[in-house]
Structure 1
Amino acid sequence: MRVLQRYITAEIVRSVAFALAAFLALFAFFELMGQLEAVGRNGYQLQTALLYVAMGLPGNVYELMPTAVLIGTIYALAQFAANSEFTIMRVSSMSTRMTAKALAKIGFGFAIFTILFGELVAPKTTEFGEKLKLQAQGSSLSQQFRSGLWAKDVIKDNGLDGNVIGTRFLNIQRMTPEGMLEGVKIYELDKDFHMSDMIVAARGDYLGEHKWQLTDVQKTTFIANDKASAITSPITTSKNKTTTFISEVTPEILSVLFADPDRMSAYDLRAYTKHLEANNQRTERYEIAFWKKVVYPLSIFVMMALALPFAYLHFRAGGVSLKIFTGIMIGVSFQLINNLFSHLGLLNSWPALLTAALPSTLFMLMAIVALRWVERR
């Protein structure tokens, strides 16, 4: 069985690698065609566009891996069936359960590969590619609104610890790829949501450990009526060259606002979800993206289960090309349904785990039904 396992593994890995390479070449070509329109503008050169496309390939590997596994496995099993190798395996007492176990072992390796790309490689390369493109064009990160980028934070009496004593809203006109803020406005409110301070700064630099340094600062303090005296103005203004403040908001959190949640790592999604929860903001979109990250590697096993029935179809029941085409349609359908359920779950406030797991569950049921059907035949 070990020799047979190595043989099946080698054939499937070779087929999956070929299918994945073909998909990556196709997606890279279309992405490059989309980038050519911007080449030559604002210092954006062809070599930068090529590097940008290359940095997006790990993200494509993560997204296309289940489809590539499905097509590669179908091709390998269809070849076994066409050459009567699978018939010999069955005659040699290799049951359906043993075949499924062999495919599961191979799928485990593909799942680990998918997790590594989704958690470690793709988020970093995607972020690097976006920064590279912005730097080449001399641009800042996109704005969420005409008034700039908005973020919310809580004020605690000991900086990051202690009791919550107020709420802080940050308005940023521009954020550079390096994480520097330009045109910073900070509105601080007390526990009763009365304005306490308004800080305007020309620039903000992150010092690390949740500390920001503001430059050219003008601070306006609003004194509550019950605290103001007859000789004290209810509004005081001060100016400083630099000042520092502590906030849970970091450049990483701000960059999340521009990032596609599907290209983020599960760790970053979880951290940002906690930040939103702490500020009483909606988290559904990021919770769904997080659970999709958790469930997505399991879709590798679903795709291999869908491929298994093709081994029981003899060559006369359909050529290898027909089986591959069927696999492509199933893979595309899975991607479409997976994205569709993400939007439906967000619109209808479905539980995030259910939204993420339902497409894989439906396709696994399809695999079980198909396998029983071919066994009866």
Structure 2
Amino acid sequence: MRTIRRLIYGEVLTAIALVALGFLALFFFFDLVDELQYLGKNNGLSAAADIYQIRHALLYVALLIPNHLYELLPISVLIGTIFVMARLAQSSEYTILRTSGLGPWRALRLLLVLGAAFVTLSFAVGDYVAPTSERAAQLLKARYQSKITVGQTGAWLKEKQPYNSYVVNVKELTPNNEMKGVQIFEFDNKGLIVSTTQAPVAQFTGGDAWMLKQASRAEFDVPASPADISKPQNGARVSRTTLQTFRWPTEISAEMVSVALLKPERMSTLDLFNYVRHLNANGQTAQRYEIEFWKKVFYPLSCLVMVMLALPFAYLHFRSGGIASYVFAGVMIGISFFLLNNVFGYIGNLRNWQPWLAAATPGLMYMAVSLGAFGWLVLRR
């Protein structure tokens, strides 16, 4: 059994590595071509060191590779495993393995162990390597475009504190992890505005406060009842102050601002989970981020579904040259899974589905297909 395991694992791992390498090379080329339009540009400074050069483009594209690997790993597992299973069936090697005691359930168990290894690899890449490299790539790009921002107004966040609630606007995030164009609107428990604070630059001081520089603060003293407003001595008053530094206590971390400014699917599972909790605690809609969170949870498990889909190809009968059509079918199945996984995320967000259901439905559908194919082609024949 050890010899059979070594044979199958060696062939499958080699095929998956070649398929993944081919896909990554293709995406590397496309990303590099897309970056050529930015060559020779800088962030508005005259220094020659701040010009975007080909070496910067190559480094930026290389930092995107882990995220592409995370997205392409299930497809690569499917295509590589289908190719090996079909080739073993075509050359009658799999028939010899079956006569040597490799039954359907033992073969499925072998492939599931291999799929579990790819689940672990996919989770590690998607949760640790890809977010770190994606953040480094965005900061590298921001050095030559001077900012990281989304839309024209930046990111909006909300936070409830024991006595008041706050609405925060951050326009840009700089490469050195500073925030630009910060606005903080403070409201009391009745929904009346208490103060506004604006600062051109703010920094994260840890997990419990922001430090705003050159802050302009306006405090509003509004009477508690409409009857008091009619009295001249009790009219509304506004006091304005300018502070060199202003420390604002908050639990909004740098990761939460990054989630709001960057793509949520590029963040780690823990960062998304904390951000979803923050949105729910502050009465904000978290549907999109909950779907992305559950997609991060279920997506690595699709590697198990892919190896289950590939096993029935070992029990098909091939004519000479017919293996190419089955490999092409595997490519189409992998692409359809990738597209369906994205489409269900958008549909679930629009139709307000349960986040875990929108994220798990594509995997469950393909698992049902793989089990049906396994039962029909392997067990009944």
Report the TM-score when normalising by structure 1: 0.93
Quick one: which amino acid aligns to residue 31 of structure 2?
Answer: E
Q: Which aligned runs of 4 or more in structure 1 are off by greater than 4 angstroms?
A: none
Offset from partner CA, 1:202-256 (integer Å, 9 cap, x none): 3212211322111222222111214989288622222222121111222221111
Instruction: Give the deviation of 1:317 after TM superposition.
Output: 8.0
Match of 2:282 in 1: 279
* Pairs within 5 Å for 1:203-282: 203-226=201-224, 230=233, 234-282=237-285
Match of 1:187 in 2: 185
Offset from partner CA, 1:63-98 (integer Å, 9 cap, x none): 100100011101111121122111011112321111
Match of 1:196 in 2: 194
Report the TM-score when normalising by structure 2: 0.92
Q: Describe the SS at the equivalent of 1:12.
A: helix
**Counterpart contact for 2:222–2:236, Cα < 8 Å:** no
Deviates more, 1:269-278 or 1:199-208: 199-208
Quick one: which amino acid aligns to residue 21 of structure 1?
Answer: L
Deviates more, 1:224-233 or 1:253-262: 224-233
**Could you tell me how far apart the structure 2 residues matched to 1:182 and 1:93 are?**
66
**Could you tell me how far apart the structure 2 residues matched to 1:231 and 1:273 are?**
42
Q: Describe the SS at the equivalent of 1:150.
A: strand
Distance 1:225 1:78, change over 3 A: same
**Counterpart contact for 1:144–1:150, Cα < 8 Å:** no
Quick one: which amino acid aligns to residue 23 of structure 1?
Answer: F
Offset from partner CA, 1:293-343 (integer Å, 9 cap, x none): 111111111100110011011222862212211110110011011111111
Match of 2:139 in 1: 131
Match of 1:161 in 2: none
Match of 2:17 in 1: 17
Offset from partner CA, 1:164-207 (integer Å, 9 cap, x none): 21111122333212221223221111000111111122321221
* Pairs within 5 Å for 1:97-176: 97-135=105-143, 137-145=144-152, 147-155=153-161, 164-176=162-174
Identity score, percent: 38
Match of 2:37 in 1: 37
**Could you tell me how far apart the structure 2 residues matched to 1:187 and 1:301 are?**
48
**Could you tell me how far apart the structure 1 residues matched to 2:23 and 2:198 are?**
49
**Counterpart contact for 1:204–1:212, Cα < 8 Å:** yes
Distance 1:143 1:373, change over 3 A: closer
**Counterpart contact for 2:149–2:171, Cα < 8 Å:** no
Distance 1:34 1:337, change over 3 A: same
Question: Any gaps of 5 or more consecutive residues in structure 2?
Answer: 43-50
Instruction: Give the deviation of 1:367 after TM superposition.
Output: 1.2
Match of 2:8 in 1: 8
Q: Describe the SS at the equivalent of 1:243.
A: strand
Match of 2:48 in 1: none
Asked if residue 373 in structure 1 is aligned to residue 376 in structure 2, the reply is yes
Instruction: Give the deviation of 1:45 after TM superposition.
Output: 1.1
Asked if residue 79 in structure 1 is aligned to residue 90 in structure 2, the reply is no
**Counterpart contact for 1:55–1:125, Cα < 8 Å:** yes
**Counterpart contact for 2:222–2:235, Cα < 8 Å:** no
Match of 2:340 among 325, 337, 341: 337
User: CA-atom RMSD, angstroms?
Assistant: 1.8
Match of 1:308 in 2: 311
Question: Any gaps of 5 or more consecutive residues in structure 1?
Answer: 156-163
**Could you tell me how far apart the structure 2 residues matched to 1:267 and 1:217 are?**
32
Quick one: which amino acid aligns to residue 336 of structure 2?
Answer: S
Q: Describe the SS at the equivalent of 1:41.
A: coil
**Could you tell me how far apart the structure 1 residues matched to 2:19 and 2:197 are?**
55
**Aligned positions, number:** 367
**Could you tell me how far apart the structure 1 residues matched to 2:56 and 2:365 are?**
42
